[in-house]
Amino acid sequence: MIRLRPTHLRTRLTLWFVSALAGLLILGWGATVAILFRQLQSQLDHFAIQEIETVEGLMYFTPQGELQMHEDYHNHPESKDVIDRFLEVLSPGGAVLYRNDRLGERRLGGAPFAGEGVGGYSVRSERLADGTRVRMVSRLHSLDGRPLLIRLAHSEEPLWSRIDELSLASLLALPLVLALAGFAGYGLVRRALRPIELMARRAQEITPQRLHERLPNNNADDELGQLARVFNETLARLEQAFEQLRRFTADASHELRTPLAAIRSVGEVGLQKDGTRAEYRDIIGSMLEEVNRLTSLVDNLLTISRADAGSLQLERVPIPVMQLMRDAAALFEVLAEEKALTLTLSGDEAAAVRGDPLFLRQAVVNLLHNAVKYSPAGGTISARVGGRADKVTIEIEDGGPGIPAEDRPKIFDRFYRVDKARWRESGGAGLGLSITKWVIEAHGGGVELDREITSGCLFRIQLPRDSPL
Amino acid sequence: MRRDGIRFYKGNVHILVVEDEIKMAKALQEGLEADDYAVSVAHTGEEGFYLAQSAPFDMMILDVMLPGRDGFEILSTLRQRGMKTPVLLLTSRDTLEDRVRGLDIGADDYLVKPFAFPELLARLRALLRRGKTDAAQRLKVADLEVNVALRSVTRAGELIELTAREFDLLYYLLLNRERVVSREMLAREIWKEVARQTPLDNVIDAQMVRLRRKIDGQFEKKLLQTVRGVGFILREEQL
């Protein structure tokens, strides 16, 4: 089945409005008619009761025992035709004793029901044999000691025809009213929706290059103002994300350019002169070193971009933290020995977290690597595992030169390096800490650089503790 | 250039390289030929598919990103037709899904670009060696001898004390002697490091310095040599 559905909101709103109005009008009209009809009917009833009173006084029995009606009270004979009542008199057993001329041979209602007209008036609607709708009142009356059931009715047909006329008139007026209301409603809806249209047009003009633009917000309190505000907030976030991406791309290109420039210079210089075999090997080797640097840079960038895109799947397995730390520390044993560093590891053997072993290992390896890299020969690096009921804390402290206070907030930023000149020999692109930060945060934890410490660095990782259940 | 030793005779090992990048294909061909393999190169998927079907190869190196029919498609069609030749996939996309997909449709190994050439050679050797055992228990280079069963090392008859890691390192270098071993290979094989990003280069270098001190220290002939930009090599001949 094809459902017709207007595409424009204003058309839809107008249609809803018009149909609601039509429904209400019909309902109101129906109620009015019903009330009017009831009122007219009760007038009719009242009239009938008065007439019964009159009729009772006019009835008499002929000496033959026939029931008759005095009709000689009319001043003019034609007045008889004015009388529009239907009259039937029955015996309590149902035998017809009298029917007036107007009624003729038609029956007025069926057999008498129990208690009809006793001690008052029974009022009901009936239909004559020829279909005429009547309003009938009956009353039990006693004449010359004989009980008589008087039934008196008036035609309801004039009432009905009045109602029909009224209906017809309303039916003719309804479309006109609805059309007028529709037009007015359409105009109103269009005016109400106009700000949305404007907003849509403005929003359409906002391209990635023009993200700083905002939607107009004239009335912040109404619904449209709220919509504009929410939209503007989204735009602000989008702008920020774009800005981040732009900066990241710029930084990444810069980082990629550095090894590329080295490859190029070394290659070009190498080609300019005739060298020995050993010299050429050296040149190629030097170029390959830069290639390795590029490769690891690209690998790191790839990890970061996957992390940003949320496409990295993290495992969730229980990991004993001391084990993780021992593993990571073991990697640097040789380096530490070479630099005569003391690497100590202490803490809670029972501490466990839930997460991805590879990524978490990478995270602590990066921190340990930094500690080993920046510690002076003969220094001490201590790693401690501790924590509270719901948290595991890993602290890694070194006795290196530390990080200047003004640089501390930036150390987790991508491509940030404390010592810009020295990175090439120590071999990092400033991505390690940002990867660590991402990994820890992806595990629901946090990593920070202690602010209090005055010498060296103290990194503190907090992770949710894995409950043994 | 023919080498002696435990390595099998390779002159008649025929490798099909399917790679659309001209430079890369040329480098692969030259590198493999320098290592005594016979090489055929196809520059498109269709050509590679045709060649693979028309002649028997001992090994196929297949780039995944090819114009037209990609490597996955070619490989799965070839496998459906019953080709048993070992296939090594090359790809620049290092995602787990790609890796799984490659191995699922019948690749025997998977190498992510950019890779170190020695790494490729090592993988090829591993694939060709598959099913055959290296029963060498005593390995030697010049006067350096390793007894695998005893895990003992001697140089000029003198016993050298090595840590477990140093021994593993030396053993691996010895198995690949006279071949360059890259840091990535060492990281993976000796340190069992899976993630490529782990900053292990300094660690490997430091470990090498120590090993060198022990096996080459007081000897005039240095066996453990550094190949700048690539890695390390254990051999008698001096650079």
pLDDT in tens, A306-332: 888 777 788 889 999 999 999 889 888
Chain centroid, CA B123 distance in Å: 4
pLDDT at residue A325, rounded to an integer: 94
Quickly state the pLDDT bin for B135 (edges 50, 70, 90).
low
Q: Distance, in angstroms, between B207 CA and closest chain A CA?
A: 6
Round to whole Å and give the CA distance between B68 and B45: 7
Inside any domain, residue A184 = no
**A319, β-bridge pairs:** A353
Domain identity same for A454 and A328: yes
Domain identity same for B112 and B166: no
What's the pTM value of the predicted model, to 2 decimals? 0.62
> Is B228 within 8 Å of chain A by CB?
yes
- b/e B55-84 (16+ beta carbons within 10 angstroms → b): eebbbbbbbbebeeeebbebbeebeeeebe
For chain A, give percent helix, strand, coil, nearest 5.
50, 20, 30
Domain identity same for B125 and B174: no
pLDDT at residue B6, rounded to an integer: 37
> Is B164 within 8 Å of chain A by CB?
no
Which CATH number goes with the domain that contains A275?
1.10.287.130
Quickly state the pLDDT bin for A180 (edges 50, 70, 90).
very high
How many other C-beta atoms can be found within 10 angstroms of the C-beta atom of residue B128? 18
Domain identity same for B23 and B120: yes
Nearest to A358 among B191, B194, B229 (CB): B194
Quickly state the pLDDT bin for A469 (edges 50, 70, 90).
low
Domain limit, last residue, from B97, B129, B161: B129
Round to whole Å and give the CA distance between B201 and B186: 10
> Is A278 within 8 Å of chain B by CB?
yes
Inside any domain, residue B7 = no
Q: Distance, in angstroms, between B115 CA and closest chain A CA?
A: 9
Domain limit, last residue, from A263, A283, A309: A309
Domain holding A259, by residue range, is 223-309
Domain identity same for A276 and A348: no
Which CATH number goes with the domain that contains B45?
3.40.50.2300
DSSP conformational letter for A350: T
pLDDT at residue A419, rounded to an integer: 63
Which residue from A minimizes the CA distance to B187?
A331
Domain identity same for B28 and B120: yes
What's the pLDDT tens digit per position in B68-95? 788 899 999 999 988 889 999 998 776 6
Domain identity same for A455 and A349: yes
Look up residue A93 and give its amino acid: G
Quickly state the pLDDT bin for B4 (edges 50, 70, 90).
very low
Inside any domain, residue A212 = no
Round to whole Å and give the CA distance between B161 and B154: 9
Inside any domain, residue B110 = yes
Inside any domain, residue A366 = yes
- b/e A143-180 (16+ beta carbons within 10 angstroms → b): eeeeebbbbbbbbbeebeeebeeeeeebeeeeeeebee
Q: Which of A70-74, A157-161, A426-430, B206-210 has the lowest mean pLDDT?
A: A426-430
The mean pLDDT of A166-189, rounded to a whole number, is 89
Quickly state the pLDDT bin for B3 (edges 50, 70, 90).
very low
Q: How many domains does chain B have?
A: 2
Q: Do B229 and A373 touch (CB under 8 A)?
A: no
How many other C-beta atoms can be found within 10 angstroms of the C-beta atom of residue B152? 14
Q: Answer yes or no: are the C-beta atoms of A365 and A328 closer than 8 Å.
A: yes
> Is B150 within 8 Å of chain A by CB?
no
Domain identity same for A390 and A344: yes
Inside any domain, residue B101 = yes
Inside any domain, residue A110 = yes
Domain identity same for B76 and B107: yes
Inside any domain, residue A199 = no
What's the pLDDT tens digit per position in A242-285? 888 888 888 888 888 888 988 998 888 888 888 898 889 889 99
Domain identity same for A326 and A433: yes
List of residues 6+ apart from B112 with CB closer than 8 A:
B91, B92, B93, B94
Domain holding B23, by residue range, is 14-129
Domain identity same for A97 and A48: yes
Domain identity same for B27 and B123: yes
Inside any domain, residue A151 = yes
Domain limit, last residue, from B129, B152, B181: B129
Q: What is the CA radius of gyration of chain B?
A: 19
Domain identity same for A116 and A47: yes
Inside any domain, residue A174 = no
Mutate to test the interface with B, among A314, A334, A337 (most CBs of B within 10 A): A334
Q: Do B202 and A335 touch (CB under 8 A)?
A: yes
Domain identity same for B116 and B159: no
pLDDT at residue A5, rounded to an integer: 63
Domain identity same for A376 and A356: yes
The reply to whether ipTM tops 0.90 is: no
Inside any domain, residue B61 = yes
Inside any domain, residue B4 = no
Inside any domain, residue B5 = no
Quickly state the pLDDT bin for B136 (edges 50, 70, 90).
low
Round to whole Å and give the CA distance between A435 and A428: 12
**B133 or A457, which is more confident:** A457
The mean pLDDT of A166-176, rounded to a whole number, is 88
Q: Distance, in angstroms, between B111 CA and closest chain A CA?
A: 14
Domain identity same for B214 and B121: no
- ∠ CA A208-A211-A216, rounded to 5°: 135
Domain identity same for B115 and B163: no
What's the pLDDT tens digit per position in B11-21? 678 999 999 98
Domain identity same for A34 and A138: yes
Mutate to test the interface with A, among B203, B205, B233 (most CBs of A within 10 A): B203
Whether residue A424 is predicted with pLDDT greater than 60 in this model: the reply is: no
Domain identity same for B19 and B115: yes
Whether residue A468 is predicted with pLDDT greater than 70 in this model: the reply is: no
* Mean pLDDT computed over every residue of chain A: 85
User: What count of residues does chain A have?
Assistant: 469
Domain identity same for A321 and A298: no
Whether residue A35 is predicted with pLDDT greater than 80 in this model: the reply is: yes
Q: What is the helix (H) or strand (E) element at residue A241, kind and residue range?
A: helix A223-272
Whether residue A201 is predicted with pLDDT greater than 90 in this model: the reply is: no
Domain identity same for B117 and B143: no
Inside any domain, residue A3 = no
